[in-house]
Each structure stands twice: as C-alpha cells, then as structure tokens.
Structure 1
Amino acid sequence: MKTMIVREFHDFMLPDSYLLDLSDQKIKGCTGCWTCWWKTPGRCVHHDLDLFYHHYITSEKVIFYLTVSQGFVSGNLKTLFDRMIPLFLPYTNYTSGESMHDKRYEHYPDIEIHYQDTFLETAEKKIFEDYLQRTFYQFHSKNINLTGETGGARP
C-alpha cells in the first residue's frame, strides 16, 4: 500500500513513503488565479507542490501529524488545504444535497490524522475534529480517522 506522510510534528516515517514536512517547509499561498483549473489543469502556477499532488493522489493512505494552533489547524496547513484545489474540477454538483467540487481523479486516499490534543474543552476539540472531517469529506476521501495525542507520541 502506498502511503504518504504530512507532518508538523513527530519523526515517524515509513519505508518508501513520500514525506511533506511542514515543520520546515512554508507553503506559498494560493493567488486565486484559476490557472490550475483553466490553463494548466491539475497543476498550480507555483510548482512547489507538484510532487505532493502526485503522491497524494496516487497514495492509498495519507497520514497527517498535526499541531494545534490557537485551537485550530496551523496557518501553513490551512494554506496547504487551500492549495489542494487543483486536485478537483472547477465544476460543482449537488448530488449529496450540498455543493461540492467534482472529482478530477477516480481515486482519493484514505486519511489518518494524529493531532496534538491540547484542548481544555470538549466543545473546542469537537469543532477542530468536525472541521477536519468536513475538509476531507469535501476532498472526496471515504475513510477519515482522527486521533488526539497527548505528548506527541505515536499511538
């Protein structure tokens, strides 16, 4: 099974997996130019995530190790989510009863998320987890599993 790892913490690695280490890579912001949809479909004008796009869409599973920043995902991770738009078509459908971008590809990976659980309130943790569930649901992932970790150790 081909696996990809996106991490902001932890040094966990799998043999033959692709790593996007957000702890030492700053993601450029989306310019909103629509080039990834109209001029070079599926490819961003920045070209800094070309390998990420390829490995993400060809992986069976993507494992995320996320930090929590001010009760939410980090700005760098949110920018990565914004920059994942080339993986989808600019067209929307309402077959699920809500607006969703059409798939560009037949397959999207399963998602496994480990995050540093620093939440003091259950409601805050629920908002965080609901956001991640909704994000990857909109990204057409079928299986989405979240695990909060205290102390940053692998479960």
Structure 2
Amino acid sequence: MKVIVHDLDPEEFLKAFPGLKNREDVRIIAETEGPMKKCIGCFGCWIKTPMHCIIKDGYDMPLQFTAEEIIFISRCVYGGYSRFVKNLLDRSVGSGTPFFEIRNGELKHVGRERKEKRYLNFNVYMYGNNITDLEKEMMTGLFIANKSNFGPETTGALHFINDVYKEVAL
C-alpha cells in the first residue's frame, strides 16, 4: 500500500495525477473531510483506543501501519510542514507505544510489534517559491527525525521543488 499525504487542492491533484484515482493500492489523504482538529495530547490513542485517535473528524490514521510507502507533499512553512500535514503527523503518534528506547543516541518511542518485518519508504516533497537555505536546513533536520521515528530500516529522501505537478512523479 502507498499512502500519499498532501495539502493541495484535492480536485486539482486528481486532475494532475489521474492514474491514482480509484486504485486499491494507493490511499490519498487530503483535506477532504473538512478541517483537521489538532492533537490535544490526551494519550487516548495509546490508552483508550490503541493506534486510533479519539478525535472523530474523519482523519483517524496510524500512518506507520497502513503503508509500505508514504509520500508527503507539503508547502514549506517556516522550515516545516504545512498545517494539514503537521496535524496528520501529530495525530499518528498512537501508532507507536508510550514507551521509550535509545536509538542511535536519541530517545525514541518503541514501535508496536509487527508480525512480519517491513521496510518503509518515506519520501517528502516540499514545495514553495523562494525556500531559503535556513528553511531547507530546518526541514532537513525535521525530515531526518521523522524518518528515524518511522524505524531504523526506513529509506527515502527529502526533495525541495517548485512545481508539484511537474516535478513529482507518482
């Protein structure tokens, strides 16, 4: 399964990538269910309803368990993700456990056990006019941290682009 998370206009996105429409092996997550509510830090996704956010707004998504490949397409906002993509990442914290371990000298959440070993491919496309060097540096650090959080076997790359519809091959 491939999951594509984007902050673009959903209709424009499907016009630009018509081959993705109605594919069973691709899940597209965009702001189609209305505004996404912010994570409130209640830990319900760990305790009350493991792996599922208790906020019911149409965006319940434990990303790490639903895909072999995750692609983020986000406008670069001050060296980070757009509001929608950041909220989705925050709301997927329940796909890990509330326990910690040291990995590569950093404190990380322990992942949930999987029956079979899976290697995730995580690619991020950051778009925007005039992305500064400082924003690129900040986003690179964020990408490395996110990739590490997905697990030690995770592959993928960060791309800075100007035009999503010309520079992203899906």
TM-score by length of 1: 0.82
Call closer, same or farther: CA 1:69–1:22 in 2, change over 3 Å: farther
1:113 to 114, 124, 133: 124
1:89, distance to aligned residue in structure 2 (A): 0.2
Q: Contact conserved, 2:64 with 2:95, CA < 8 A, in 1? A: no
Provide the C-alpha distance between the structure 2 equivalents of 1:126 and 1:63, rounded to a whole number of angstroms. 20
Provide the C-alpha distance between the structure 2 equivalents of 1:46 and 1:38, rounded to a whole number of angstroms. 14
Query: Structure 1 vs Structure 2: percent identity of aligned residues?
Result: 23
- Map of 1:130-149 to 2, 5 A cutoff? 130-140=141-151, 142-149=154-161
- Match for residue 29 of structure 1? 38
Call closer, same or farther: CA 1:35–1:23 in 2, change over 3 Å: closer
Aligned length in residues: 152
**1:76 partnered with 2:84:** yes
- Match for residue 102 of structure 2? 94
Provide the C-alpha distance between the structure 2 equivalents of 1:95 and 1:73, rounded to a whole number of angstroms. 24
Q: Contact conserved, 1:133 with 1:144, CA < 8 A, in 2? A: no
**1:18 partnered with 2:30:** no
Provide the C-alpha distance between the structure 2 equivalents of 1:24 and 1:151, rounded to a whole number of angstroms. 25
Computed over aligned residues only, the root mean square deviation of the Cα atoms, in angstroms, reads 2.4
1:117, distance to aligned residue in structure 2 (A): 4.1
TM-score by length of 2: 0.76
Provide the C-alpha distance between the structure 1 equivalents of 2:41 and 2:131, rounded to a whole number of angstroms. 36
- Match for residue 6 of structure 2? 7
